[in-house]
Amino acid sequence: MLIEVEDLSRDFTVRRRAGRLRRTTEVVRAVRDLSFTVERGEMVGYIGPNGAGKSTTIKMLTGILVPTSGRLSVAGIDPSRNRVDLTRRIGVVFGQRTTLWWDLPLRDSFDLLRRIYRVDTARHRRNLAEFTELLDLGGLLDTPVRQLSLGQRMRGDIAAALLHDPEILYLDEPTIGLDVVSKGRLREFLRRVNAEREVTLLLTTHDLQDIEQLCRRVMVIDHGSLVYDGSLAGLHEQGASTRTLVVDLVDEAPAIDVPGAVVVKVEGPRQWLCFPAGASAAPVVAAVAAAYDVADLSIQEPDIEAVIREIYQRV
């Protein structure tokens, strides 16, 4: 077991203003009795609504925050006691801010990291060459980080986090703000890193497609508790979530009848068909296109908050 979490809890004391002068203190349980294990090589998605306790968990796993109670072991190390030892074995990518140095060109940032993490020069060179190629960083190496676009910076951050061959990579909203093509490339890279280097990935995200494409296992946290821990398909089944195919027919027609989908709304030539979120859209699209004159199609993904709310209500 690479990551072992047992009854992990984290309280925060929040001071709120009650009236003009008084202040009440309230204890908020951000994370309560969390328990899970992660094996080496897993790709785990960690999702939940805002304020559910995701960042708090990551902060405890990386040693930034110490738990209020419970047991925590990452790569055999207790993060709250041996933070510095642990840092060599992990990599962290923060979606909203960079771990790189603003004014330095990427190349210099990477070199600094090589020296700080004391990476063997040859190994560093090999890693850098591979990441530069896979993440298309070649033309960017001499650009200061502050001049990079969000997508470029994110690629730089991920390369930086992996240069020292960490065993675990934590990614906090890595695809936020990226365009579709960049997202796809990033996911491909992460899949590859996991497959070839056996890097364990723990990814927090709001983008369900990230989960769909990357994670075989999903953990859902809400109000500090783990409400689901299992496969992705299982999640959709539990949440009974659906995807929606929006079909624009050439002419108005009565409700489309194809197997595996149900029409939920009709507005002129436009019809909304729902099918289970775990299922592929391809057969439905093919069936519709075969039987009707289609002008245009689009797919709406299930709202993750709705899925989670659904699950939480079942608990």
Are the C-beta atoms of 207 and 175 separated by less than 8 Å? yes
Contact region for another protein (CB under 8 A) — 70-78, 89-97, 195-203, 295-303?
89-97
Q: Coil, helix or strand for 158? A: helix
Instruction: Return the HEC string of 78-140.
Output: CCCCCHHHHHCCEEEEECCCCCCCCCCEHHHHHHHHHHHCCCCHHHHHHHHHHHHHHCCCHHH
Q: State in angstroms the smallest separation of the CB of 314 from another protein.
A: 31
Q: State in angstroms the smallest separation of the CB of 142 from another protein.
A: 12
Contact region for another protein (CB under 8 A) — 98-106, 233-241, 250-258, 290-298?
98-106
Tell whether residue 90 is a contact of another protein (CB under 8 A): yes
Pairwise CA distance, residues 153 & 251, whole Å: 46
Tell whether residue 84 is a contact of another protein (CB under 8 A): yes
Pairwise CA distance, residues 169 & 167, whole Å: 7
Pairwise CA distance, residues 233 & 137, whole Å: 35
Q: State in angstroms the smallest separation of the CB of 107 from another protein.
A: 12
Are the C-beta atoms of 33 and 7 separated by less than 8 Å? yes
Tell whether residue 13 is a contact of another protein (CB under 8 A): yes
Tell whether residue 313 is a contact of another protein (CB under 8 A): no
Residues 111-130 that bind another protein (CB under 8 A): 112, 115-118
- HSE, side-chain direction, 13 A CA sphere, residue 277: 22
* Pick 5 or 31: Cβ nearer another protein: 31
Tell whether residue 104 is a contact of another protein (CB under 8 A): yes
For residues 179 to 218, the per-residue mask of contacts with another protein, x marking binding by CB under 8 A and - elsewhere, is ----------------------------------------
